[in-house]
Structure 1
């Protein structure tokens, strides 16, 4: 597999994770204890895949400006993912909603910034 194909796969996985995260909003209206744990594990798993794939995409950037832009967005995204994960861990439904909106907003920026790369 060549590096271009690997990068396309990374961008595809990032987009798929984004779609799944965007569709999670209703799942975040958590009512039972088991759901809190499940949502927390799902968020950590998605964050892990996103981290690996974004790292690969960023490290392959030929333009310093593009690398800087994507790094800034990725750092912002992971900050909000951490905040969302903490809100889920604390089982704070109102905070989860606020953190989710922030995370989704930055994720839209990340996805938009990746568009020209494929």
Structure 2
């Protein structure tokens, strides 16, 4: 409890011109009030608790991949990847790769592939969206834009490549062979188109794109 102390008024004799009979004037003393000790303790404890909580959040150790995981996740701090360059995703269906090179020439590294889960419908939707975007490449053909065509082709083809791998994995066993055949035909056409783009031969680019366009339209129909 806060306590207040108030002094009684004291009479202080003052010399006035009225002589000895003048009445003394009272002089009050200052009133002092002491802060409540329990309230001060609560304030200190509150500040200490906030400081400890802030320190715990700021010094939380980032999550790191372990060698014991079958498919270790890339190092991250809970908000973004801290592993640079960005890790290259792994595929399960090696059959979609080129039989001679063991990979696909158009696959671009350094692209973050978001994990949208094993849903067949979700990956089919993404494949259809990327195929639709690649159909727009026709507007750039023959306009000395082969550099842009190559970059956009590789970007969208990389998305389709990894989405097809997830799609085939999520598909029923009986549906996998037709999907593998469609993926390989599409990826073979991508590689031929990429090779034509690097030569900057408009006639060759147009011929290869015409073949790719037919397969892209088939892909959109199958993924609908």
- State the TM-score, normalizing by the size of structure 1: 0.83
Q: Which residue of 2 aligns with 1:27?
A: 140
For each residue in 1:27-61, what CA deviation from the matched residue of structure 2 results, as whole angstroms up to 9, or x when unmatched? 11232xxx222211110111100000011101111
Shift of 1:13: 1.7
Normalized per residue, the structure richer in helix is 1
Of residues 57, 60, 74, the one that matches 2:167 is: 57
Cα distance in 2 for partners of 1:46, 1:107 equals: 12
- Which deviates more, 90-99 or 17-26? 17-26
Q: Which residue of 1 aligns with 2:186?
A: 77
Q: Which residue of 1 aligns with 2:217?
A: 108
- Which deviates more, 98-107 or 7-16? 7-16
Does residue 10 (structure 1) correspond to residue 123 (structure 2)? The answer is yes
User: Cα–Cα, structure 1 residues 44 and 58, in superposed 2: closer, same or farther, change >3 Å?
Assistant: same
For each residue in 1:70-109, what CA deviation from the matched residue of structure 2 results, as whole angstroms up to 9, or x when unmatched? 1001100000011001100111100111111100111222
For the 8 Å contact 1:70–1:113, the answer to whether it is kept is no
Relative contact order higher in (CA < 8 Å, ≥ 6 apart): 1
Of residues 154, 177, 183, the one that matches 1:68 is: 177
Unmatched 5+ residue regions in structure 1?
Answer: none
Does residue 40 (structure 1) correspond to residue 138 (structure 2)? The answer is no
Cα distance in 1 for partners of 2:183, 2:117 equals: 24
In our comparison, the structure showing a higher alpha carbon Rg is 2
Shift of 1:9: 2.8
Q: How many equivalent residue pairs? A: 109
For the 8 Å contact 1:70–1:110, the answer to whether it is kept is no
